[in-house]
Structure 1
Amino acid sequence: MNKHSMIYHILKPVKRITIVTRQLSNETMCNDTAIDYCANIVKQYDYENFMATLLMTKALRTPALVLRAFNVEVARVQDQTSDSHTAAFRLQFWHDTLKTIFQKDQTLKNVPANPIAQELFKVCVCYGLPKRQLEKLVTSRGELLRTKHFKTLEDVEKYAEDSVSPIYYLLLNLSNIANVHADHAASHLGKAQGIANILRSVRISNYHKMVTIPMDILMKYNVSQEDVLRGNDSENLRNVAFEVASRANSHLQKARRIEVPSNSTQIFLPAIAVDNYLLRLQKANFNVFDNSLLLLSPTLPFTLYYNRVLKKF
């Protein structure tokens, strides 16, 4: 068995993933096709989180993939169109969908005929997920589409808290983990991952004409938005990346220093991928345009699996 086959063997998804922890009525029985759709969306557009999710316990894997698929769909809105009105319309669809899902005594037949929306309804019914955290995932993306930039690094942190941390809060809710330390770790990990995502998205800013690196850091090192849009690597831009990456790493280390319940460590496995990216960025001397950063680390699947076994993140 070669290296790539071994990786697939370790992380291959099961063909049928079902919610086994709670009894569902016929109306909310799991639809394998819809679940496969959710899994494929996450696999295609959020592969690192997909790998981490596959390593969760079987009972949590399906609802976690549904939540991840919902988050991917919302996050992809700005990637699917450069027209702000079209993007706003698509986000409004998800606002309306959440409103429908959380109406009292709602039934599946009233939920939009969208596989992610339908599966999200089932998960919300089964697990009693809080509407507020799901809404944050949509609202945060809408606010970024309106402002199109961040003034300060603190603004980036807030965006990360609103656009990434809610996923971890929701996963903790799925696991029935009500623990202030786990919540604290979720907050820091969400900020770390969100800030790292800002650095990772610099390469695609040309398409959207949007520079998400905070203005105060760009000004500090005398880097213009045009330099970023043109992909002009420079020592000053590397200093910008270093400062932003340092803030992400600070949150990551804070999350790891918090003692959390052992059954929550599987939820925080994406910390491994965040750390992996920051290390590779450091190895590239903080050149955010380095082509090596586009490649999946060949050791990441093994590192994820190893840490899952040790209940670490």
Structure 2
Amino acid sequence: MKVLPKSASLLHAFKSSSIIHFSIAQYSTDFSHLPGARQPKKPQKSTSRRLLEISHEQVVSSFKHSVDLVRQHDFDNYIGGLFSPKAAQPGIFAVLAFNVELAQIREKVGADSKSTTGIYRLQFWKDTLESIFNKRVGPVPRQPIAIALCSFASTSPFLLWESIVTARQQTIGDRQFKTVDEACKYGLSTWGSVIKLWMNSLATISPNASSLIDHPQAIQAAEHVATAFSMANMVRSALPLLSRGIVLLPADLCSIHGVTPDRLYNKKQENESKGVIRDLINIASDELLKARSLKAAVPKELRPALLSFVASCEYIIRTTKKADYLLFDKKLQRRNALLPWTLLWRRARDSY
């Protein structure tokens, strides 16, 4: 049987697919080798608080739920996840689904900082993580994403999961970032942790069974990409958030360019806001260059974790420049229809 080279086999797999909606067996998540139920490390003193048994069927159902959630609410990274090795995909989609779940809490709470709903739901996830990682005594809830995370508790750093929840707890209510540095730190705590956990899933299936901590330059590249993506994503999401009465654009940049939230709401500072958007895009571009300068030091098996973030960031930067940095240009809200092909090409070249 003739074996096609990697790039040729990838192109062959995509021949019959459409650009956005494709369903190919080669690029579907494999659930045939999922880990079994989690066993508690210590016997529980109280039978009423015993960790719940998790069957293989529940694990499979939970991961399918995670994949569906990511496909519906984070399509770019859903495509990116499909380009990762199948053995790592369950862990990757568990990470992405967890991030989507927390993001939806913020969307539901919105700008109502007096609401306690979001606070309680975020605390629920913090308690759930502590139960999964044996940081507290208590059962793992029969919640699909919690069950999915449970299967990978022993192979991922607790601090990265905790960082995502803590960052969202600290920004509940969608208050405007005071400074660019504050916005960057939030991006590192959220998207940075997601990318590192993605890398960790890839590292654990590598032939050498290496740990992410063994690759400091890969971690550094992940942080640069996370910062770039956070700045670019802030630009892309500015208009949808503005329609809900929310402004997250850093206050220090807005002050420099004479932009105020009230005038932005009324679309009276379109030209003034160009300066803010340009500065954010320039930061994103600089961070991408720094990430790419480290490419040779990032192991090939970890690079898929950066693919979709870099491609999405580049698309936002390119589209924003074409729109002449106009915040209200509708082109910024269009999906990148060529994303699968971009990822296909870069994966074939082991690049990002």
Both structures adopt the same fold (TM-score exceeding 0.5): yes
CA distance in 1: counterparts of 2:103 and 2:129, whole angstroms: 16
Letter in 1 for 2:299: P
1:263-282 equivalent positions in 2, closer than 5 A: 263-270=301-308, 271-282=310-321
1:14 offset after TM fit, Å?
Answer: 5.3
Cross-structure match for 1:80: 108
Cα 1:199–1:6, aligned 2, differ >3 Å: closer, same or farther?
closer
Letter in 2 for 1:139: T
Q: Deviations over 1:22-76 (max 9, x none)?
A: 7535846363322121011111111111111110010011110010000111122
Q: Deviations over 1:256-289 (max 9, x none)?
A: 1102111111111021111111111111111222
1:11 offset after TM fit, Å?
Answer: 6.6
Cross-structure match for 1:301: 340
Cross-structure match for 1:39: 67
Which of 8, 11, 36 lines up with 1:24 in the alignment?
36
Cross-structure match for 1:201: 237
Contact in 2 for aligned 1:11/1:54 (Cα 8 Å): no
1:179 offset after TM fit, Å?
Answer: 0.5
1:234 offset after TM fit, Å?
Answer: 1.6
Give the fraction of aligned pairs with identical amino acids, expressed as a percent: 26
Cross-structure match for 1:51: 79
Contact in 2 for aligned 1:16/1:32 (Cα 8 Å): no
CA distance in 1: counterparts of 2:202 and 2:302, whole angstroms: 8
Q: Secondary structure at the match of 1:268?
A: helix
Cross-structure match for 1:140: 167
1:203 offset after TM fit, Å?
Answer: 1.6
Letter in 1 for 2:92: A
Which of 82, 88, 92 lines up with 1:60 in the alignment?
88
Deviates further, 161-170 or 228-237: 228-237
Cα 1:191–1:13, aligned 2, differ >3 Å: closer, same or farther?
farther
Deviates further, 32-41 or 232-241: 232-241
CA distance in 2: counterparts of 1:60 and 1:159, whole angstroms: 26
| Unaligned residue ranges in structure 2 (runs of 5+) | 1-13, 39-53, 204-211
Letter in 2 for 1:43: R
Which of 237, 252, 255 lines up with 1:219 in the alignment?
255
Cα 1:273–1:13, aligned 2, differ >3 Å: closer, same or farther?
farther
Cα 1:201–1:234, aligned 2, differ >3 Å: closer, same or farther?
same
Cα 1:207–1:141, aligned 2, differ >3 Å: closer, same or farther?
farther
CA distance in 2: counterparts of 1:308 and 1:229, whole angstroms: 41
Cross-structure match for 1:102: 133
Letter in 1 for 2:163: K
CA distance in 1: counterparts of 2:201 and 2:137, whole angstroms: 20
CA distance in 1: counterparts of 2:311 and 2:25, whole angstroms: 19
Contact in 1 for aligned 2:192/2:222 (Cα 8 Å): yes
Cα 1:92–1:104, aligned 2, differ >3 Å: closer, same or farther?
closer
Which of 282, 286, 299 lines up with 1:246 in the alignment?
282
CA distance in 1: counterparts of 2:91 and 2:288, whole angstroms: 25
Cross-structure match for 2:10: none
Rg: which structure is higher?
A: 2
Q: Secondary structure at the match of 1:49?
A: helix
CA distance in 2: counterparts of 1:15 and 1:266, whole angstroms: 16
1:124 correspondence with 2:153: yes
1:201 offset after TM fit, Å?
Answer: 1.8
CA distance in 2: counterparts of 1:226 and 1:12, whole angstroms: 50
CA distance in 2: counterparts of 1:6 and 1:288, whole angstroms: 27
Contact in 1 for aligned 2:175/2:247 (Cα 8 Å): yes
Contact in 2 for aligned 1:43/1:50 (Cα 8 Å): yes
Letter in 1 for 2:120: F
Contact in 1 for aligned 2:37/2:151 (Cα 8 Å): no
CA distance in 2: counterparts of 1:216 and 1:16, whole angstroms: 44
